[in-house]
Amino acid sequence: MIKIASWNINSVRLRMPIVERFLKEQAPDVLSLQEIKTVEELFPYDAFNALGYTHHAVHGQKGYHGVATVSRIPLKEISRHNWQDNGEARHVGVELLGAGQGMVLENVYIPAGGDIPDREQNVKFGQKLDFLERMTRWADTVDRPTMIVGDFNIAPLESDVWGHKQLLKVVSHTPLEVETLKRFQDAHGFVDVGRQHIRDPERYYSWWSYRSKDWRVNDRGRRLDHMWASPELAAATVGHQVFEDCRGWEKPSDHVPLVTEIDL
């Protein structure tokens, strides 16, 4: 059994107290983080080592973005895809050497895409779509059991957002983004493990804006974070949880962690 977690942490250095609490309480074998917002030299390696997470693959950047995967089981970094095509640190891929016959874990932070859902008026929206197109070409070449996790910045289903009609023209839930994400999914046949276990139309969110006065009462959430897997790997998953309580912890991230358990 292997337990894998994914969390957009919105500054790993500021968030170490709640990361440590989560690791102690849930004890995943592997944790993929997005938006670490630091260079590799300043990553808090010692704090992770002290909790037994002694294997690391860190792709950092000063101030923005950045991803890292830390693990209690051996891993080997195998890739840092430049899907943004401008050098931003938004991906790190590892092979988990201690997981059954071995599996690949891809950790990705897809760009948010700015405000206006039109690539003619908003360069960032075009970059987001282009990022997904590059991911799709990569997915077509995936030929071994792979899990891809992270902040996809797209909530594809109606039950993934607090208000479907209200958000149809809001970046993260536009039909164009949902279609583009679907092409990526179909290029390999990735299974949406979150929705395999928490079935549509059950409410499932992973992000709540900092601007809401009371995120739990207003509950204007979106499912921006995902854990997807190759069909054979998805068939071996035995559990999936979303830890909404972490949104209410001291100095929280605006995203909450997801966990998938796989019987390998």
Q: Kindly list the residues in this chain that would bind DNA in the complex (CB under 7 A).
A: 8, 10-11, 13-14, 35, 37-38, 62-64, 111-112, 114-115, 124, 151, 153, 167, 170-172, 207, 209-213, 218, 222, 224, 251, 254-255
Which of 109, 197, 226, 240 is flagged as catalytic?
Answer: 109
Smallest separation, CB 37 to DNA (Å)? 4
Which of 55, 56, 173, 255 is flagged as catalytic?
Answer: 255
The smaller minimum CB distance to DNA, of residues 3 and 220, is found at: 220
The smaller minimum CB distance to DNA, of residues 13 and 119, is found at: 13
Smallest separation, CB 248 to DNA (Å)? 12
The smaller minimum CB distance to DNA, of residues 3 and 13, is found at: 13
What is the distance, to the nearest Å, from the Cα of residue 116 to the centroid of all Cα atoms in its chain?
A: 23
112-132 b/e (C-beta count within 10 Å ≥ 16 → b):
bbbeebebeebeebebbbbbb
* 151 part of the active site: yes
3-state helix, strand, coil in the chain (%, to 5): 30, 25, 45
Give the C-alpha separation, 31 to 162, whole Å. Answer: 27
* 109 part of the active site: yes
The burial of 46, by beta-carbon neighbours within 10 Å (0-12 exposed, 13-18 middle, 19 or more buried), is given as exposed
Q: Residues within the annotated binding site for Mg(2+)?
A: 8, 35, 151, 153, 254-255
Smallest separation, CB 164 to DNA (Å)? 12
Which whole-number Å values give the CA distances from 8 to 34, 107, 216, 236, in the listed order? 4, 11, 19, 25
Q: Which amino acid is at 194?
A: G
- Residues serving a catalytic function are 109, 151, 255
